[in-house]
Structure 1
Amino acid sequence: MKNILAFLFLISSFAHAQYTINGTMSPTVDTDWVILYKIEGATQKFIQNSKIKTSSVDIQGKKQPLGSFSFTLPENTKVGSYRITYKLEGAGFVDFVFNKEDVSFGFHPNYANQTVTFTTSKENMLYKSYLDKISPAQQTLDSIQVAALQNQNLNLKNEYKEALKIVNAIQKEYLEASNGMYVQPFIKASLRNNLPEIIETPEKYMSNMIGTFFDPIDFNNKTLLNSSFITDRITDYVFYINYSQDAETQQKLFKESVDKVFSKIDNISYKKEIIEFLINQFETDMNLELIDYLFDNYYSKLPINVQDNSFKEEKQALFAAEVGRIAPDFSWKENGKQFMLSKLNDAENYLLIFWSTTCSHCITEVPQVHTFLKENDKVKVIAFSLEEDAYGWNSFKKTLPNWHHVLGLNKWQNKTARTYNIVSTPSYFILDANKKIIAKPEHLKDVKLFFANK
């Protein structure tokens, strides 16, 4: 009898020694796998992957493809925020919290955040219920405020106060319901700083929104730090709330919003992650001014042991030859004389061409450039030829007189070519007299158009 009881106890203990994450998506997606990550700061840590099993379900008489997947987590799995990703590109993910309980959910893969429904997990069900109630209530309050700003003759003070009561009541209800739960910090941090009275001017409205945006967020709370919550709010603040159609004003707003963000962050590791995150975001639009601003004012001021040298070197190399940068310097010999790009002073503009005698397209196009610029004494061409040897180059360059000719051996592995991120030939760079890159034409027609407008 004792042996049977011990065996039953062992089976019972084993049954509770692991947890499951189950998901269904309708319709399914083309990919075969979903990946589970744990969110840590502004980064994601791979946990495991799972194969999507396909089936079908009958919806209003039509067969709808269904995808399902499951993860098994050991007992010692860390509590925190997790993400399943099912698309390699775009917004293809679902976030949830894990707090030592099974989690089950379903969603439409094209509208995951709007459609996700949790059927198992008290934590996730409560938080999703909160979001489903607080979001429309806040939208109603905002619409009343906006209507009052658009029409100063409307008296919507009472409507605003009633809508605000509803918002505050929902917040109070869910703060009490989440007492002692992992999701409570998210609920605390979600409430906007709504003023008790309706705001009468757009300037005051925007001032209040921008000035109080981060007030509900505790930047030292580990639950929030180890989720996408703060990162998402930072993204909204930097890229959407502080907005201007004027390019110069926008750059100023970007810097001000970045300064505001980092005035809130004390955690050094998280600060590093957010700096890197913002650099990657600004990289999308090649906003070199803000990338430099982040490196100079924040990344370089992190403790040396925290900085990632490989990250800095990668970004510096990536942006070294972009428009707005001083062209990376290089030297060469020409008729026994030493030249350096930075020391040239024989033109108002320079056209740097990376080409090759083994490139059939170059053989056709480069002579056309020579013909086009032959009478233009304000432009000097530096023809940087990527070759395995000098044999063909020595003869071909003679057909292109009055140019600076540079031999780049080792072709694609040439150090200068790699500095300029050359992946195809011909590649064009237009420089001003100070060797700053002012344009990177893609085609010969773009080169002609540039100089035709000069």
Structure 2
Amino acid sequence: MKKLSFIIAVSISTFSFAQFSVQVEANPNYSAKEAILFTLDGSKDIISSKESKSGNIWKFKVPQNYKGMMKIYFPEINYSFNLISENKDVSVKLTTTSDKVEDVIYLDQANILMDEVQDLQNKNELIFPALVQIKDYYSPNSTFGGALRNEIDRLGKTVSIDAQKNPFVYYYNTNYNKYTISSSVVKPPTQTEIVDFISKSGEMLETSSLLRPILVNYLNAATNANSEQAVDTILNKLVLETPRGQTVLSEFIDIFSAYGMVSLKDKYLTKAKDLKCTINTRLAKTLKSNANVELGAIFPNYIFSKSVTNTNLKSIADVKNAKKVIMFWASTCSHCEKDLPIILGKYTTLKSNNVEVIGLSLDSDKTSYDNKVKALPWINDSELRGWNSSYSETYNITATPTYFILDSNNKIIAKPDSISDVFTFLGVK
């Protein structure tokens, strides 16, 4: 018994320590109290832990081995920044003015290196091609021409990365350059090479943020007529009974949803529903968010915030009109800007037909949102968290504007593709 007790004590002691910690420091006048640490699964953020501020520091303990992208999000002021883990302690300092973050200063070696890598990648994509195009117009002996060529040489160099010391940064940099960059200089990978890479890559593929852009490149390499065949090829290679296969299937469903490729989305969503094996968390969430907004489903209720306008009701379910038009929009959305005046022009007619409009905004800037909704007479609400809003996952929102029409019992009776389709369904001219 003593020996067993000792083993249990050792086990408890072992699991009480974190693999690594993430520490974030801000100026004392930074008002955010709560912070959320996310890890990554494909293209989806996963909550790792939540912490409250102690003094002017947030400290997260991560109990599991993790190498990959992370994000810190301050929900009270809707601010986030990215960082990485090499399964070692991470330290970050925020330079702030009131609640505005002026700079994110990485203090640990891995994040300093990753920041340098990403800065060079951004400049190579945005600046390097333009510099190469104009260099021949300036003499190399001139001051500007010499500086131009020096900058081209600097951007053309690669950052030296020790694969043993920084395995994630090495993995990210190598495969970003090979599988996500479209370049006239470097030969793009073939579909076969992409399939082989995804099937053989380790778990850092899911944590790297590269999976979605690689899959988009894979689809772009196929013609529209061959997209379905290309997807079937990679899914057959990966096997849908495996976690990797299910994550890639989930990514494809989301891609087809975002790009309005309805028939392909429906096909692979049906394939996911028909799986008889255990479903991983990523695919389960995709199935859930799509099931929430299927035609005929009961629209998940939403509790209005205290700042909701033009109603004293508490939730969507409390709105008892014969029909309800749910509109997901944003004040920064150009397509929404075109639709709003049209809805305004028809709103009196809608109300006379016992139809209410409920606008749920994916804005993040309070001033911009408030200025816009002053002129909107229907029910308006917003979490003011942009794409961090709960709407994104709950209602599977991938673009604005998105419309749903509900009956009085919150059943989804139509999913119009456009505002004209809304009025056609409602019989409003």
Using the size of structure 1 for normalisation, the TM-score is: 0.47
| Higher radius of gyration, 1 or 2 | 1
**Taking CA–CA contacts closer than 8 Å with sequence separation of 6 or more, which of the two structures ends up with the larger relative contact order?**
2
